[in-house]
Structure 1
């Protein structure tokens, strides 16, 4: 049986929203049409994907498995579409993705000088999509900060840099020279705990509060919540010092290891420009130099 990618996209929208009305609005189609498409998809797969009633929509075990596989399949299909379009229109482009705090100007300029007819672009990412952009073809290479999902990727380590905790400027720990990770165990972490596994795995850490963690995709959003005493974040030093503001401070965390930065690209990307850029990146790799490394410096 061939999988209908359109129905698969419809399924992912419903699975992520867990609400047919919101999913239909997101897809810009009528809700009855969406419901019919999902029922037809379930019949094709011979599996129930959702348990539905008047109050809720819940994924079945089969639905959870399909959602796990569907995202990677759709990303692969999108990457294929982008590569075919580039080939069809003979577009000589190369896109470099980067995380906040990382500067890629020198590498982008060097590649452009080697290939005057090449259009070199840059793309800012976040922790949530830093790997996805090379899987779906939006970028040829991506400067990623570990940990990240490495499935379907090749990685080349480049450099490491310290991590710091960002606190409100009037926090009880704000005047300290540094803190231990255990001292942060009772704080509310505003980012995905998988981004800071050392904090996530602290022994005797209190259970998560009843209020759900806000979905914060940008550094700016995280700092706004920190300043409002909603919690703390752990950031690479260069990222913390890039966003200067008077109502938050950053402190070294004495027992927290450095952040590893790698260059990532898709395994199936056969462009000769990729290994050429990898060589450029390795030669120029060095940790960013933040403007201030003094403990407690304002952000």
Structure 2
């Protein structure tokens, strides 16, 4: 089916869900223009709910933050986000354009270290066994605690911007893997509107002949698909090597000495 078909007045709304930080507005506008007779309902969900809404039937498609359990799903990666450190406005990181994760080794992380394994690998409080337990917090609550100077967060840039306050700063962090956003739906969902929305987020034109093509193997979560995705990832990495921060002159942003890498403002 092409992207311009399937306009059935009075049809059940096509339900899309999206996690915090994802902004689907441009895709929703394209849908409204191409499918005026097919209503679309979009609503936010938490990261914990991002796949559950598909399995429960609450939504047909979900814009998710990867990785997710791909069992029974089609998943296509859409884009990657730069990780940033969020800290109080007076924190030394505010003086730099970017910092390396090694420069944050002396800091207290206000989230589960498993969320940022690169920080966990260098963190002094983890290495020395002196890390105090941190109660689970919502992102807005954690940002408020960071604003008090009690610790830092490492988040995708879109989340840092969404929950920005005047009393915090955020700076890109090198040495931490980017966060990836994808589009997921149940493998057994044969609603033709699924392929229409896939075409929209992939930037296909309304008359594109690709509308009838099945998802690529990489979207299915199969072994072949994972190998294809890994190869594509290596090729992409070869085209766009990561930047390195310049060596600093006066120790880490935390002010405890050392020769951490950072880029001054």
TM range (shorter): 0.5 to 0.7
Q: Cα deviations across residues 195-221 of structure 1 (Å, max 9, x unaligned)?
A: 32333444764366564322223x322
- Asked whether 1:216 is paired with 2:123, we answer no
Alpha carbons of structure 1 residues 240 and 135: separation in structure 2 relative to 1, 3 Å: same
Change (3 A) 1:282 1:191: farther
Contact persistence 2:19–2:65 (CA under 8 A): yes
Report deviation, 1:246: 1.4
Residue 183 of structure 2: SS of its match in structure 1? Answer: strand
What CA distance in whole angstroms lies between the structure 2 residues aligned with 1:121 and 1:203?
43
Which residue of the partner structure matches residue 176 of structure 1? 96
SS, match of residue 158 in structure 1: strand
Per-residue deviation, residues 223-255 of structure 1 (Å, max 9, x unmatched): 112112332222222332233321111011122
Alignment partner of 1:128 is 2:128? no
Pairing 1:250–2:199 present = no
Correspondence 1:33-44 to 2 at 5 A: none
* Matching of residues 86-125 of structure 1 within 5 Å: 92-125=12-45
Structure 1 unaligned segments of length 5 or more: list them: 1-89, 285-294
What is the alpha-carbon distance in structure 2 between the residues aligned to residue 231 and residue 281 of structure 1?
37
TM superposition shift of 1:281: 0.7
Q: Which among 181, 189, 206 is matched to residue 261 of structure 1?
A: 181
Taking only aligned residues, the RMSD between alpha carbons, in angstroms, comes to 2.8
**Offset at 1:139?**
2.0
Range 246-255 or range 224-233, more displaced: 224-233
- As a proportion of its length, which structure holds more helix? 1
Structure label with greater radius of gyration: 1
> Taking structure 2 as the reference length, what is the TM-score of the superposition?
0.64
**SS at the partner of 1:157?**
strand
Q: 1:98-129 deviations in whole A, cap 9, x for unaligned? A: 22232111212322333333331112123322
1:276 offset after TM fit, Å?
Answer: 1.4
Relative contact order, higher structure (CA 8 A, sep 6+): 2
